[in-house]
């Protein structure tokens, strides 16, 4: 057994990779590993060097619907860029894992999972699918997370390392606090100079950050890093963006969150049918009379037309954020009262996955 271990160690040394004896996990990297995006020649050992080596820790400020705590930005992801403004995506379909919550639990990362449930939120309420998307699109493109870079590899542990590192980085980048300390707080009436926001965050980060907006509304920030060594155990160094990024006007709105989204989800076909049969015509007493009023698709279209946004549904009347649309076709005062006792709706806007 000792002979086999020594042979394995010699093979690793021959490729420039060092391993810690008897310790399962990411292989250790030399202290003088090159900094990503700064090499002049090709680095062969991609277990200790990330070719797509500008890593972006990206954050959301979602307000419609709101996600996460009212005094914190939320995690979007951790993305590898190619050092030239381009980026790889979906690099290994065989490792596009599902069941991220189970993977984290199986790899001793329950604390990370608990944190993600509060701070890594999907605007549609489907956190698991969002996490799977971020891992499959971005995580599989980080070379040091290849299973070959592990001693005593445990199934899917590289995905757990991706989420643990993303959360670890996010905790060092308290965007809300940095802005608040500079007098920049969410407001329904104030506007802020983009340069001021960027200046505050760039000073704290140690390099220029990228800001993202929906129209005039601030909703995203990207923190750029280069990495010395591996993602798992390397040193993250603040870096300038690897190209022109971000589209925001010179003056922006930084809107407050209206509340969390624990019970928020987009209307399903069944829920639209319930709206059709229970709300639009409560004066009709039988299912046969109610059924032909509107199709679920027509109801959804009218909701979008009336509010100008996608609409989300709550079952808790205490969560009512928007009164029933009394001017909407089919809504009499009686229908509105029935609606009020049965459902609650909240205006929400889509937030595209990147």
Structure token pair of residue 10 = 């010699």
Whether residue 193 contacts residue 251, with contact meaning beta carbons closer than 8 Å, is answered with: yes
- Domain membership of residue 4 (yes or no) is no
- Domain membership of residue 276 (yes or no) is no
Residues taking part in catalysis: 76, 134, 138
What's the N-to-C CA distance of the chain in angstroms?
48
Cβ-based neighbours of 136, under 8 Å, separated by 6 or more? 90, 93, 95, 96, 97
Confidence of residue 67 (pLDDT cuts 50, 70, 90): very high
Confidence of residue 64 (pLDDT cuts 50, 70, 90): confident
Q: Is the pLDDT of residue 149 over 90?
A: yes
Note whether 249 and 298 are same-domain residues: no
Note whether 334 and 211 are same-domain residues: no
Confidence of residue 75 (pLDDT cuts 50, 70, 90): very high
In Å, the largest CA–CA distance within the chain is 84
Note whether 171 and 318 are same-domain residues: no
In the chain, alpha helices (H): 2-14, 100-106, 110-119, 127-137, 157-171, 175-181, 194-205, 269-278, 287-290, 296-307, 333-342
Note whether 184 and 233 are same-domain residues: yes
Note whether 103 and 231 are same-domain residues: yes
23: helix, coil or strand? coil
- Domain membership of residue 22 (yes or no) is no
Distances (CA, A) of 310 to 123, 221, 301, 345: 12, 24, 9, 11
- Domain membership of residue 8 (yes or no) is no
Whether residue 157 contacts residue 219, with contact meaning beta carbons closer than 8 Å, is answered with: no
Residues forming beta bridges with residue 266, ordered by sequence position:
312
Q: What does the pLDDT read at residue 261?
A: 40
Q: Is the pLDDT of residue 159 over 70?
A: yes
- Stronger pLDDT, 305 or 346, i.e. the higher one: 305
CATH of the domain at 81: 3.90.730.10
Note whether 77 and 152 are same-domain residues: yes
Domain coverage including residue 313 = 294-353
Distance CA 83, CA 242 (A): 5
Distance CA 344, CA 263 (A): 11
Note whether 329 and 193 are same-domain residues: no
- Domain membership of residue 145 (yes or no) is yes
DSSP calls for 180-201: HHTT----SS--EEHHHHHHHH
* Domain end (from 200, 231, 253): 253
Note whether 332 and 192 are same-domain residues: no
CA dihedral 27, 31, 36, 41 (to 10 degrees): -100
- Domain membership of residue 280 (yes or no) is no
Distance CA 294, CA 274 (A): 11
- Domain membership of residue 176 (yes or no) is yes
Residue from 126, 139, 48 nearest 92 by CA: 139
Residue from 169, 172, 63 nearest 121 by CA: 63
Note whether 227 and 341 are same-domain residues: no
Whether residue 303 contacts residue 313, with contact meaning beta carbons closer than 8 Å, is answered with: no
Q: What does the pLDDT read at residue 190?
A: 93
Note whether 37 and 142 are same-domain residues: yes
* Domain end (from 230, 253, 276): 253
**Mean of pLDDT over the chain:** 76
Note whether 136 and 214 are same-domain residues: yes
- Domain membership of residue 339 (yes or no) is yes
Residue-wise pLDDT for 177-218, tens only, equals 999 999 999 998 999 999 999 999 999 999 999 999 989 999
CA atoms within 13 A on the CB side of 132: 12
Note whether 221 and 307 are same-domain residues: no
* Domain end (from 194, 229, 253): 253
Tally of structural domains, the chain: 2
Q: 10 Å Cβ neighbour count for 188? A: 7
CA atoms within 13 A on the CB side of 335: 21
Q: What does the pLDDT read at residue 271?
A: 54
């Amino acid at each position: 057994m000792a002979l086999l271990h020594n042979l394995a160690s010699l093979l690793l040394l021959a490729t420039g990779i060092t391993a810690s004896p008897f310790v399962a996990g990411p292989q250790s990297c030399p202290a003088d590993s090159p900094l990503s995006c700064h090499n002049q020649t090709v680095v062969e050992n991609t277990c200790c060097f990330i070719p797509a080596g500008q890593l972006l820790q990206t954050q959301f400020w979602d307000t419609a619907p709101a996600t996460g705590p009212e005094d914190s930005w939320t995690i979007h992801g951790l993305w590898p860029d190619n050092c030239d403004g381009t980026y790889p995506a979906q690099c290994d379909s065989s490792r596009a894992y599902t069941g991220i919550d189970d993977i984290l639990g199986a790899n001793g990362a329950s604390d990370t999972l608990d944190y993600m449930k509060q701070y890594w939120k999907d605007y549609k309420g489907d956190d698991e699918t969002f996490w799977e998307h971020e891992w499959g699109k971005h995580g599989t493109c980080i070379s040091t997370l290849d299973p070959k870079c592990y001693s005593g590899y445990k199934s899917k542990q590289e995905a757990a390392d991706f989420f643990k590192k993303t959360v670890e980085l996010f905790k060092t980048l308290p965007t809300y606090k940095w802005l608040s300390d500079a007098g920049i707080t969410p407001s329904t009436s104030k506007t802020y100079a983009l340069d001021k926001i960027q200046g505050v965050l760039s000073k704290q980060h140690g390099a220029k950050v990228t800001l993202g907006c929906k129209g005039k509304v601030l909703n995203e920030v990207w923190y750029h890093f280069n990495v010395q060594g591996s993602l798992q155990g390397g040193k993250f160094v603040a870096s300038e963006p690897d190209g022109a990024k971000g589209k925001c006007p010179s003056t922006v709105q930084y809107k407050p969150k209206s509340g969390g989204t624990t019970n928020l989800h987009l209307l399903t076909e069944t829920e639209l049918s319930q709206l059709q049969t229970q709300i639009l015509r409560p004066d009709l007493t039988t299912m046969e009379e109610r059924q032909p009023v509107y199709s679920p698709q027509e109801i959804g279209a009218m909701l979008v037309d009336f509010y100008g946004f996608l609409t989300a549904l709550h079952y808790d009347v205490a969560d009512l954020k928007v009164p029933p649309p009394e001017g909407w076709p089919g809504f009499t005062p009686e229908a509105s009262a029935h609606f009020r006792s049965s459902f609650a709706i909240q205006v929400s806007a889509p937030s595209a996955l990147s």
